Structure 1
Amino acid sequence: MDLDALDRAILGALLEDGRQSQVDLAERIPLSATAIARRIRALEEKDVIEGYQARLNRHALGLGMTVVVQISLKSQNEDLLKAFEEAITLAPSVVSCHLMSGEDDYFVTVLARDLDDFERIHKEELSRLPGVARLKSSFALREVASRPLPASCLLPARK
């Protein structure tokens, strides 16, 4: 989808604060609140805006451990991949999962309260996933950067 400068400005403002009202946006962007509302609705309908959510402080919720888990499956059988992917979406501790090229099949990020909690997640959630042959875990020491999307995603595509 081609985005014009006004769409990009709206999206950039929403990335900064998704709770801004259309009136607040109209003070920053040279459009009326009604025109901004129309554009936001169009961006939602075209799935450029997938939804809105609160960003919660995981440490305040007791989730002080971030674990990156590399998972290798027993085979690359299409049915097994599908079964794994359906199951991983139901694992409550998993915050992201990516199908990878290279040595490991999946790259999974998990949030845990502490090492004991991760041991439980490892035994009860991850190792029980369909077709798992190997789990290799790495523990994040600290988070350096985190954002839903970088503002650079709003730059016009180079031709």
Structure 2
Amino acid sequence: MQLDETDHKLLGLLSENAREPVATLARKLNLARTTVQARLDRLENSGAIAAYTVQLGEIARPRLRATALISIEVRAGPSVLQKLKTLPAVETVHTCSGRFDLIVQLAADSTAELDDTLDSIGEAKGVNSSESLIHLSTRLSRTRT
């Protein structure tokens, strides 16, 4: 499925507020409400829209956030991923290029929880090395979840 300019505008509006009523979206796009609803249905059915979700504000987020950069042994990816799935502080895991194999986003409510999680990652079978970066403050966020 190919997305056109209107689809991109619609997705942009939804990324700002996924709860925006269809009638309001239609007004902003200068389209009929039924046209916007049909586009939403098509975007959902094609997988262009995978889910509608909540982006937590600063007050509801865990206090500590970190990124762990992980280098793993050849063919250890599946077992390391299984271990990461068991750790509650792990939010997302990405493969990447460069000297590390995985980028792991973490969120914890205490330094002890974060420390335990980083220790568990470092001790996991198949992990060669890891480096952690503690997030201090957010200066810009364009996250679309």
For this structure pair, what is the TM-score category when the shorter chain's length is used for normalisation?
0.7 to 0.9
CA distance 1:9–1:62, change in 2 (3 Å): closer
User: What TM-score results when the alignment is normalised by the length of structure 2?
Assistant: 0.86
User: Which of these residues, 76, 98, 102, is aligned with residue 94 of structure 2?
Assistant: 98
Residues 29-68 of structure 1: pairs in structure 2 closer than 5 A: 29-57=29-57, 59-61=58-60, 63-68=62-67
- Superposed CA RMSD: 1.9
Residue 135 of structure 2 is matched in structure 1 by 140
| 1:96-129 Cα deviation digits (max 9, x unpaired) | 2221222222111111223222112223x42454
Q: Give me the whole-angstrom Cα distance separating, in 2, the residues matched to 1:98 and 1:130.
A: 18
- Identical columns (%): 24
Q: Give me the whole-angstrom Cα distance separating, in 2, the residues matched to 1:41 and 1:111.
A: 34
Q: Give me the whole-angstrom Cα distance separating, in 2, the residues matched to 1:69 and 1:51.
A: 26
| 1:33-84 Cα deviation digits (max 9, x unpaired) | 1111110010011111110111112x423612111111122x212xx21222
Residue 72 of structure 1 is matched in structure 2 by 71
Aligned residues: 144
CA distance 1:39–1:103, change in 2 (3 Å): same
Residue 2 of structure 2 is matched in structure 1 by 2
Give 5+ residue unaligned stretches, structure 2: none
Give 5+ residue unaligned stretches, structure 1: 150-159
Residue 27 of structure 1 is matched in structure 2 by 27
Residue 157 of structure 1 is matched in structure 2 by none
User: What TM-score results when the alignment is normalised by the length of structure 1?
Assistant: 0.79
CA contact (8 A) 2:69 2:100 kept: yes
